[in-house]
Each structure stands twice: as C-alpha cells, then as structure tokens.
Structure 1
Amino acid sequence: MKQTLLLLPGDGIGPEVTAEALRICQLVAPDIAIEDALVGGASIDRHGVPLTDETLARAGEVDAILLGAVGGPKWKDVSRDKRPEAGLLGLRKGLDVFANLRPAYCFGALVDASSLKRDRVEGLDIMIVRELTSGVYFGEPRGIDTDENGVRRGYDMSIYTAPEVERVTRVALEIARGRSGRVCSVEKSNVMESGQFWREEVTTVHKTYGEGVELSHMLADACAMELVR
C-alpha cells in the first residue's frame, strides 16, 4: 500500500528547510505520495486561522508529516488564539503527539564549530524526552484580566494527570534500554506542586516498568547547569 507524507512548510525558513528535506525523502522513498497544506501564518493569510479543521483531519490520516516552522513578525499583532503558534499547538493536541524526542549529538567533524569548548561537547549524545500535550501550555484556566482589587494580572495553569506522566515516562524508559540504561527526570519539585506530582508519578512508573533502567531526579535549574558542565 502506498504511503502518504503531508508536507506542512509553514513560515519563515520553514519552506526552505522542508524543500531540502523533501528532496532527501524522495531519494530514499521515491514511491511515497506527497501532499501539502498550510499551517501557521501561511494558513492565516489564506484561511484566516492558523490550522484548519481539514488540515488537522488530513494530518491524522496520513502516514507521516513533515513540518517546517511557524510564526514571524508579520503576525505579531494577531490575537493570541489566532497566532501562528496556535496552529502548532493545535497539531500537537489534535494528534496527541505527547512525547517529543530531542536528540543532542555532536558529530566529530563539528566539535570545534561549537561555542562550547571541545572537552564539553566531544562525544555528546543525549536524548531529551519532553512531554508535549499537557502542563502549562494547555492547562485551564488561563488568561489576562483584572482581579477584584482592580489589579491587572496574567495567569496559566499547569496540570498533569497520572496517565499523562505515565505514558511519557514509559517512552523514556524504553528508549533508555537501548542506550545507556539511565533516565534523569527533570522538574521543579522544590517550588511547584505539579513538579512534586511529576516526581512521585515517575518514581511509581519506574517501579513497575523500569527494570534494567537507573532512575534519577534533578531540578530544572541544576539540569540547565549540568548540561554545559
């Protein structure tokens, strides 16, 4: 059965990058069917919204999606619910892509091209697994308003459920089994209840599904420092 790739070039450098990626795709998979659609600012310009229902529906039907970038100064005055980035968040939530894999690998030929010293980046090979469809990006209530004392305020709610933490933790544990056998869970349990909840749930999941994988915990601030030490 022929497979289908949905191309979503997006805005800014997105079309340029996806065009080159598409060339590679067509070389390694010449029989794949290519479709394209708009997202982000390009979709706003054409359809008035950053992500149409039709594009989201088609994204859920195809075999793969190649997404460029969204946003730019052209749309800086668009209302928040219609901003280009809302299209990206809509894809994440609509497709339930809850685990974002972000590998950090330093090729030997590029060691001296880094702004960090050679002894900091040589041999770098880290996989960051980021929860993508919960937390402060999607929590409710959220907004900007005025309180009962007439003071203007802005607020966002960070919420995670046990099943949401479990599924992304299991992804991290499974990946670790094929790598170093270690997972470091990062949060803000020292100052945030959602961070404390995250740590507790990750620990619980590890007891059930973490055989052969070492689990540690680290605060986000310390982790940022350790990444460049």
Structure 2
Amino acid sequence: MLVAVLAGDGIGPEIMVEARRVLDVLAIPDLTFEEAPVGGAAYKAAGHPLPPATLDLAKRADAILFGAVGDPDCDALERHLRPEQAILGLRKELTLFSNLRPAKVFGELADASTLRKDVAEAIDILIVRELNGDVYFGEKGMRTTTAGLREGYDIMSYDEAEVHRIAHSGFQAAQARRSKLCSVDKANVLETSQLWRDVVIEVSKEYPDVELSHMYVDNAAMQLVKNPGQFDVIVTGNLFGDILSDLASMCVGSIGLLASASLDANNKGLYEPIHGSAPDIAGQGKANPLAMILSVAMMLRFSLGLSAEADRIEAAVAKALSSGARSGDIGGSLSTRAMGDAVLAALA
C-alpha cells in the first residue's frame, strides 16, 4: 500500500513529521511512503503548485496524507499559480467529492471550548461537505460594468448528479452513526439550494431509517453555537461546509484538533487537518499536530481498511490529553514535538 506524503507549506512539514512518527511506531506491514512537493513549496521548486510528478504520485497512491498549503510569498501570483490551487486541483483530478469532517469534544478539553462546558460536552457531529462544485469550481472573473465599475463574479451551481452522490454519502454516514441527517442550504434565496433540497428529499426515499431535516445555513451557524448537541450528521455544499466546519472546530476547542477525509466513490482519499499553513508560527514548534495525527487514523480506517490501528491512534490521542498534554492552542505550552511524544508514549 502506497501513501503519498505531501507536507506542503508553513507548519505542514512540522506536523507531518509527527504523523510519520506515529506510523513508524505502528510498523504496518507493506505500507510504503513517497514524498512530493505541493503548494508554495512546489511552485518554488517546479513553477506550479501541483506539478505533474506530484499529481502522478497522488493518482498512483492508495491514499494521500496532506499537510497544508499557503505561503505569503505567493500571494501576488496569478490565481492559478497560488498554493491553494493545489488542493483544489487534487480534489478535481481525483474526483474527491465527499469531505468528512468529524467534530467531537474530548472530555478533557470541554473547558477549552468557547461554549459553556455542558453545551460543548454534547458535541459529536460529522459534517459531510461536497467538494467538487459550488463557487469554488464555477466560472469566475473580473469585469467592468456598463457604469465603468470593476465587478468580481463567482458562479454557484450544482447539477442533480452532484447533489445525488453527496446526498448518498450523507445518508450512509448517518446510517453508521445515529441515523439523523440535517441538510443545510439557503433554499429561500438560492436556486442552487432549491435544487439541492429537492434532490436530497428524492434520495431520502432510499433511506427510510434515517431521520431527515432541513436548515438554512444562517440558522445552522446559530444552532452550532446555541445547541450543537442536536446534530448528528450535517450534509451541505462546498461553500457552506467550508464555513460551518471551521465554526464547529472552535466549538470543540481548537482548529488544531480536527481531521478530515476527502473521498472518491471508492473510498480512495486525501487526509488533512482542517487548519491552514499558519505561516506566522511556522518553524517555531508551536503547531498542534493532533489534527494531522487524527487524519492518519481516518486514512487507516477509510482508505486502507485498518480500523484496529485507527482505533489505537485515536485512543492514544485521548490518553495523551487525559494525561495533561497540551499545546499552546489548547491552554498548554508543549511544543509540536512534545505533543507528538505524548501520543507516542500513549501508543507504547
């Protein structure tokens, strides 16, 4: 089994080191790794954020471990050369349409949430975000109006096939949990969302065991901070999912705690923490590696079929936290390396 290791920019290489240390301790037979540059690092090395060799590796691999992309040095580049285009390109080229973002509070960290402890302790949500459509992939550009004003535009669109497949992902995820699915849209304003809602209702007929509800995205954002315990699985589009999953991360205490999986129809996936490259702390040993380590667990479970090993990693993270291990973002002072050491000690 081949894993593509794409560390990327900023804190990406630092947290990837800790992920690899965890995998080394597990010593999984027949698991091999191959590294390649991506994002700003790839642009500086090869003139493109997703060079052909990196894309070829991603296509050959059984799974992809991805750190983070984003480099202030590249902010002035044309949009198609900016680091963030690497992750969009991988999603498109590999048809990674289903993004799974779990948000669950570790009991030991309930006090780290900005929510009241009793509210935070109830959080156990899976956000299923569509990744291949919406404004991120629609036509976009700059133009001049008839009045001579500059105007930017981004077209939001979904076809029914795109909604159909992500709806199935949402319902199947709910079946594996507590059989409750909330579809989030803005159908009172957007035609794109009206189609979304119509198709989700059509697909729901194939899942009579799952309780389906609908919520407008503005209300969903409010409910995530007011009563997050009401949610089991949320399925939503690319733009709304991007926003809601980051909001959920702060509800559980830190964006440095949440992993994600981006899957194709056959469960080949790209696994990454949901935080960015954090260039302001890159190279300082301040990054929390837990989201990256938990991304490894998701990779083992979903793409490589190694659930027992995934369970070991998740249990080790919980044990490290229960022993008092804390990085700066969750109220402690441990370095990136020291947090990794705490997880390795729990694994041992």
TM-score (ref. length: structure 1): 0.95
Aligned equivalents of 2:70, 2:58: Cα separation in 1: 19
1:11 paired residue number: 9
Q: Secondary structure at the match of 1:110?
A: helix
1:222 paired residue number: 219
Which of 128, 145, 157 in structure 2 is aligned with 1:159?
157
Q: Write the mapping of 1:35-184 to structure 2, written as runs, cut at 5 A.
A: 35-140=34-139, 142-184=140-182
Aligned equivalents of 2:122, 2:215: Cα separation in 1: 22
Aligned equivalents of 1:29, 1:95: Cα separation in 2: 28
Deviation at 1:123, TM superposition (A): 2.9
2:341 paired residue number: none
Aligned equivalents of 2:97, 2:78: Cα separation in 1: 26
Q: Secondary structure at the match of 1:102?
A: strand
Deviations 1:39-83 (A, max 9, x none): 100001001110012211220111111000000212111111110
CA 1:170–1:29 in structure 2 vs 1: closer, same or farther (change >3 Å)? farther
Q: Larger relative contact order (C-alpha < 8 A, sep ≥ 6)? A: 2
Deviations 1:4-27 (A, max 9, x none): 111000000111111101111222
CA RMSD of aligned residues (A): 1.1
1:193 paired residue number: 191
Aligned equivalents of 1:48, 1:58: Cα separation in 2: 17
Aligned equivalents of 2:193, 2:44: Cα separation in 1: 39
Matched AA of 1:227 = L
Deviation at 1:29, TM superposition (A): 4.0
Deviation at 1:136, TM superposition (A): 0.7
Deviations 1:150-173 (A, max 9, x none): 221000111111111111110110
Which of 23, 26, 48 in structure 2 is aligned with 1:25?
23
Matched AA of 1:5 = V
Deviations 1:166-209 (A, max 9, x none): 111101101101111110000111111101111111111111x2
Matched AA of 1:147 = T
Aligned equivalents of 1:195, 1:222: Cα separation in 2: 15
TM-score (ref. length: structure 2): 0.63
Residue 203 in 1 paired to residue 236 in 2?
no
Q: Secondary structure at the match of 2:143?
A: strand
Aligned equivalents of 2:123, 2:173: Cα separation in 1: 17
Matched AA of 2:71 = G
2:210 paired residue number: 213
Deviation at 1:87, TM superposition (A): 0.7
